[in-house]
């Protein structure tokens, strides 16, 4: 293990995959000489050449469709969508083509496609460059949705996504790129499974469920809660689809209380889906109401004060969890 940034860990994961498997290639806007909007692919063009690190026109629907065709023909393309906001231009390709390919064509057809995309706020990019849209895709049958929260998971889960025979949406929070933490020196020979949550902190009083950058905030909130005598258990979902319900429910059965943290908007968010599944399967274990900490139903502003007011915070998580414990 070494200390890497999320950006460095992702770059290593891509490099390992390109070296290991000749069918892997990258494509997206400005991923070649420029190195990607956030520098993840920097240096890969010089190492692997333009046939395997391909700059594309500004046409998300076009190059996503091309990647789907390549995947069906036996390659393993890894697409970079520059901002998650722009993925809506390729929604038809992903929801109606990639996600349905195995169902429509049957064995032996597979669609081993990975879509990498930066999501979330915190950098003042404004309403059309700061959205968290993973809930839209988690409800599409046939798509897997992954959202790592650490450099280590960024590398190992990316490896698992590239090896997977199904289309995977790989959501990279912009603040993860600069987050530093331990990461494996090489991709492990044992593949990290998709669809498995992780208990990142043990606790007895309340369960905090989160993913992506919200897991980091939940960790910080748990430390503040511990200083007041409240021990929070933190669950990192890691994969929204398929969702590891068992790990979440086991924690709720122990603590009796649940707060879910999501950066996406409140209405129709994935936090509501998690909460209702807990309600369906672990209702008898609940000692209080379910709580959500989310972004309100507003666009994310470029103005720092307004952006800060809209996004979930450590303080908001602490207040929600503490109120639940003390009810």
Question: Does residue 60 carry a catalytic annotation?
Answer: yes
Tell me which of 80, 129, 134, 192 is the catalytic residue.
129
The C-alpha atoms of residue 242 and residue 273 are separated, in whole angstroms, by 13
Closest CA to 78 of 120, 119, 44: 44
Give how far the C-alpha of residue 243 lies from the chain's centroid of Cα atoms, to the nearest Å.
12
233: three-class secondary structure by DSSP? strand
Which of 12, 60, 80, 172 is an active site residue?
60
CA separation, residue 191 to residues 132, 163, 289 (Å): 27, 9, 37
Phi-psi region of 176 (alpha: psi -120 to 50; beta: other; left: phi over 0): alpha
> What gap in Å lies between CA 244 and CA 255, rounded to an integer?
18
Q: In the chain, what is the greatest distance between 2 CA atoms, to the nearest angstrom?
A: 60
φ, ψ of residue 286 to 5 degrees: the values are -80, 130
For residue 242, is the peptide bond before it cis, meaning its omega torsion is within 30 degrees of 0? yes
Bridge-based pairing state of the strands 198-201 and 232-236: antiparallel
Known active-site residue 129:
yes
User: What residues act catalytically?
Assistant: 60, 129
């Amino acid at each position: 293990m070494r200390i890497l940034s999320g950006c460095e860990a992702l770059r290593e994961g891509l490099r390992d995959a390109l070296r290991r498997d000749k069918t892997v290639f990258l494509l997206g806007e400005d991923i070649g000489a420029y190195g990607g909007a956030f520098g993840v692919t920097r240096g890969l063009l010089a190492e692997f050449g333009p046939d395997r690190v391909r700059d594309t026109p500004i046409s998300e629907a076009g190059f996503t469709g091309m990647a789907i065709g390549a995947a069906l023909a036996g390659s393993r393309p890894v697409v970079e969508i520059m901002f998650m906001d722009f993925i809506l231009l390729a929604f038809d390709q992903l929801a109606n083509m990639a996600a349905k390919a195995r169902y429509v064509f049957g064995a032996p057809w597979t669609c081993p496609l990975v879509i990498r995309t930066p999501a979330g706020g915190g950098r003042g990019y404004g309403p059309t460059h700061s959205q968290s849209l993973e809930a839209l895709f988690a409800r599409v049958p046939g798509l897997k949705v992954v959202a790592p929260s650490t450099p280590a998971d960024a590398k190992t889960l990316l490896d698992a996504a590239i090896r997977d025979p199904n289309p995977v949406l790989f959501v990279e929070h912009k603040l993860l790129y600069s987050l530093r933490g331990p990461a494996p020196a090489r991709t492990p020979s044992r593949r990290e499974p998709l669809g498995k949550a992780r208990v990142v902190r043990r606790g007895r009083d309340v369960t905090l469920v989160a993913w992506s950058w919200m897991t980091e905030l939940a960790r910080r909130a748990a430390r503040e809660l511990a200083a007041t005598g409240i021990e929070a258990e933190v669950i990192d979902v890691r994969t929204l689809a398929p969702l590891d319900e068992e790990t979440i429910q086991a924690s709720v059965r122990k603590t009796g209380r649940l707060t879910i943290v999501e950066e996406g908007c409140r209405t129709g968010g994935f936090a509501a889906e998690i909460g209702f599944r807990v309600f369906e399967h672990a209702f008898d274990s609940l000692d209080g109401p379910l709580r959500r900490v989310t972004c309100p139903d507003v666009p994310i502003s470029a103005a720092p004060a307004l952006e800060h007011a809209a996004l979930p915070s450590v303080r908001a998580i602490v207040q929600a969890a503490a109120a639940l414990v003390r009810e």
